[in-house]
Amino acid sequence: MLEIEDLHAGYGGPTVLKGLSIRVEAGEFVSIVGPNGAGKTTLFKTISGILSPTAGRIRFDGRDLLAVRPSERPHLGIAHVPEGRQVFPSLSVMDNLEMGASTAAGRRDWVRNRRRILDLFPILGERSGQPAGTLSGGQQQMVAIARGLASSPRLLMLDEPSMGLAPAISEQIFERLAEIHRDGIAILLVEQRVAEALASADRGYVLEGGRIALEGDYEVLSGDDRVRQAYLGL
């Protein structure tokens, strides 16, 4: 589904991504972990088109994604849930969700998606008319994820969804992501809670210094001494 080859990208200064290559198959759950500054958010911004790479290829379903305008990429089935939630604070919860349903598929599937979203996050139904900016951090994260789902994505990219949340709320978020994955939606996750991120995923990548340092499933990565010591505290 998503194929990235030899990607180089940055912000006009030193290159952040230095020949990065990853893949996400249809319906697969892939996690990317690594230290701050490794390039995880830069990768997501490049896929979404917020940043333009200096070299490399990104293909989605065999199509050259770099030839597609950023505004058109959600219409291909790519949803980006950014770091920091970024809800529309003055809009109601339901208005935020409807903003996510701006793709053709999202408009077509709105009734079904709305029902599924409220099954996953019942609190959003209870708070549907409330301004999103008045919700707790955990509830705002639910809005952000639900807004992504409203577009009927085939690939859901989530950047640090547990950031700033209490452990119990983070566990709820991971449980909901597992349910979303079971619905057949591919997930690409960047996450600071390394153990949970790797345990939830079909495969994981360790990103260090803008390059892939390690790749494998949970058993492979959790058995690597570098991962155990640097990220799992073992």
Structure confidence at residue 122 (pLDDT):
97
Measured CA to CA, the distance from residue 74 to residue 97 in angstroms comes to 15
- State which residues form the domain around 60: 1-77+155-160+195-234
Asked whether residue 46 is domain-assigned, the answer is: yes
Closest to 55 in 3D by CA, of 63, 70, 66: 66
Within a domain: 173: no
- The predicted pLDDT at position 148 comes to 97
Domains of the chain: total: 1
Pick the closest to residue 51 from 82, 94, 86, 90 (CA basis).
Answer: 82
Cα–Cα distance measured from residue 33 to residue 162, given in angstroms and rounded to the nearest whole number:
13
In 121-180, beta strands by DSSP E = 155-159
CATH of the domain at 232: 3.40.50.300
44 and 191 in contact (C-beta within 8 Å)? no
Question: Within a domain: residue 143?
Answer: no
In a domain, 39, yes or no: yes
Sheet containing strand 2-10, edge to edge, reads: 15-24, 2-10, 55-60, 63-64
In the predicted model, residues of the chain with pLDDT beneath 50 are 234
Q: Is residue 105 part of a domain?
A: no
* Strands 155-159 and 78-81, sheet pairing: parallel
For residue 124, tell me if it sits in a domain.
no
Q: How far apart are CA 192 and CA 233, in angstroms?
A: 13
Asked whether residue 228 is domain-assigned, the answer is: yes
Tell me whether residue 96 is in a domain.
Answer: no
Per-residue pLDDT of 216-226, as tens digits, reads 988 888 888 87
